[in-house]
């Protein structure tokens, strides 16, 4: 069975978590046989996968990035990320029990990373900021975070290093969904930042509905002139986006001080917002149901789908 994780032009923390989490939870389970595909963390529950392959779903979500899948006999769905995904696929909302990254408690992270990461938990002094990986690629957010007095946590870094950086935080401000989910799992209070690209909002709503929490997004402003252009209707065409790519360095220099100062001010405001954590009982309930579903996954690579009440 092949462990699937989405790979783009840059490494993305949420997708890379698959490479750490699942070998720890399901040791010896995976190989490179593409006749069976395991879909865990990510908005990857769609039509991108080979029709003839047997797809095993354990917590994946539908994000609207591609067409929904046609669910047939080649799918075994144990659970999905949230009730919005479940409804999209014609399933009972109760099948949306949570994101697998919520399983990352102290013991599991120790199994994934070894004991050295525990020093990060004892410190917990930072206020971190994690942008979405696309935002990190296109903006000047390290400069902005420095101006705002926050520590930038880059979602393109090694995922183990990112987990340890989150654990060092007393508060995480994040545009990246899995920054929030991992912080929440480690009981680090968080503030969610509204994604600059609205297409990413659906997956937040899916997870929040599973955990019965109101996200309460804060807003940031673009960090450079080039980023502002990308977020405007001006950048919708492919030719314009190509020109922006070529001129990125020059566009970052336009009114750079003004853009970074304004973005830093917005980031400081976000860091002063009321932090959130999911309710302990809601987190534990989600974890228990996911672990129960995983018992079925462990028994065989093609077990019957988990039956949940409507």
Complete domains list, the chain, with CATH: 2-102+283-299 (no CATH), 106-279 (3.40.50)
| Mean pLDDT across 285-305 | 79
The predicted pLDDT at position 242 comes to 67
Q: Is the dihedral of CA 290, 293, 295, 299 positive or negative?
A: negative
**Helix residue ranges, H only, 35-131:** 83-88, 106-113, 118-123
The predicted pLDDT at position 307 comes to 42
CA angle 90, 1, 159 (to 5 degrees): 85
Q: Is the dihedral of CA 98, 101, 103, 106 positive or negative?
A: negative
- Six-digit token pair at 265? 């001010």
**Helix residue ranges, H only, the chain:** 13-25, 83-88, 106-113, 118-123, 133-138, 141-148, 159-167, 177-185, 201-211, 225-230, 238-246, 248-253, 256-271, 280-299
Q: Beta strand pairing status for 75-79 and 126-130?
A: unpaired
First to last CA, the chain: 30
Q: Which of 86-100, 126-140, 241-255 has the lowest mean pLDDT?
A: 241-255
Question: Has this prediction a pTM greater than 0.75?
Answer: yes
Place of tokens 């525990």: 118
- Six-digit token pair at 188? 């680090």
Place of tokens 């926050």: 150
pLDDT digits (tens, 9 = 90+) for 118-138: 776 777 789 999 999 999 998
- 104: phi then psi, degrees, rounded to nearest 5: -80, 75
Q: What is the DSSP string of 221-269?
A: --SSHHHHHHTSGGG-SHHHHHHHHHTHHHHHHTTHHHHHHHHHHHHHH
The predicted pLDDT at position 305 comes to 42
The predicted pLDDT at position 228 comes to 83
Q: What is the rounded average pLDDT for all residues in the chain?
A: 90
User: Residue 255 pLDDT more than 90?
Assistant: no
Cβ within 8 Å of residue 301, ≥6 positions away: 1, 29, 36, 56
| Mean pLDDT across 261-268 | 98
pLDDT band at 308; cut points 50, 70, 90: very low
Largest pairwise CA distance in the chain: 59
pLDDT digits (tens, 9 = 90+) for 136-189: 998 899 999 999 999 999 999 999 999 999 999 999 999 999 999 999 999 999
Facing residues of 218 across strands? 193
Q: Which of 29-43, 47-61, 171-185, 289-303 has the lowest mean pLDDT?
A: 289-303
pLDDT band at 284; cut points 50, 70, 90: very high
Q: What is the CA radius of gyration of the chain?
A: 20
The predicted pLDDT at position 92 comes to 95
């Amino acid at each position: 069975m092949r462990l699937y994780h989405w790979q783009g032009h840059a490494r993305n923390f949420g997708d890379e978590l698959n490479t750490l989490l699942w070998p720890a939870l399901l040791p010896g389970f995976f190989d490179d046989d593409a006749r069976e595909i395991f879909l865990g963390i990510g908005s990857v529950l769609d039509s991108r996968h080979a029709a003839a392959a047997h797809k095993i779903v354990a917590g994946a979500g539908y994000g609207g990035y591609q067409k929904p899948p046609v669910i047939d006999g080649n799918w075994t769905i144990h659970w999905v990320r949230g009730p919005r995904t479940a409804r999209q696929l014609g399933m009972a909302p109760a099948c949306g029990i949570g994101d697998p990254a919520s399983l990352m408690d102290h013991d599991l992270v120790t199994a994934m990373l070894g004991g050295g990461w525990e020093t990060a938990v004892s410190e917990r002094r930072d206020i971190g900021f994690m942008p979405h990986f696309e935002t990190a690629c296109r903006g000047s957010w390290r400069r902005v975070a420095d101006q705002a007095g926050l520590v930038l946590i880059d979602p393109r870094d090694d995922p183990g290093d990112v987990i340890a950086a989150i654990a060092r935080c007393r508060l995480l401000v994040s545009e990246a969904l899995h920054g929030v989910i991992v912080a929440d799992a480690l009981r680090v209070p968080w503030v969610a930042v509204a994604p600059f690209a609205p297409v990413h909002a659906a997956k937040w709503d899916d997870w929040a509905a599973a955990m019965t929490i109101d996200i309460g997004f804060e807003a940031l402003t673009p960090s450079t002139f080039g980023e502002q252009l990308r977020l405007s209707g001006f950048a919708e065409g492919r030719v314009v986006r190509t020109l922006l790519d070529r001129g990125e360095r020059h566009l970052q220099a336009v009114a750079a001080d003004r853009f970074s100062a304004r973005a830093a001010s917005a980031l400081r405001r976000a860091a002063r917002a009321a932090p959130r954590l999911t309710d302990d009982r809601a987190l534990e309930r989600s974890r228990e149901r996911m672990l129960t579903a995983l018992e079925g996954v462990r028994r065989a690579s093609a077990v019957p789908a988990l039956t949940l009440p409507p």
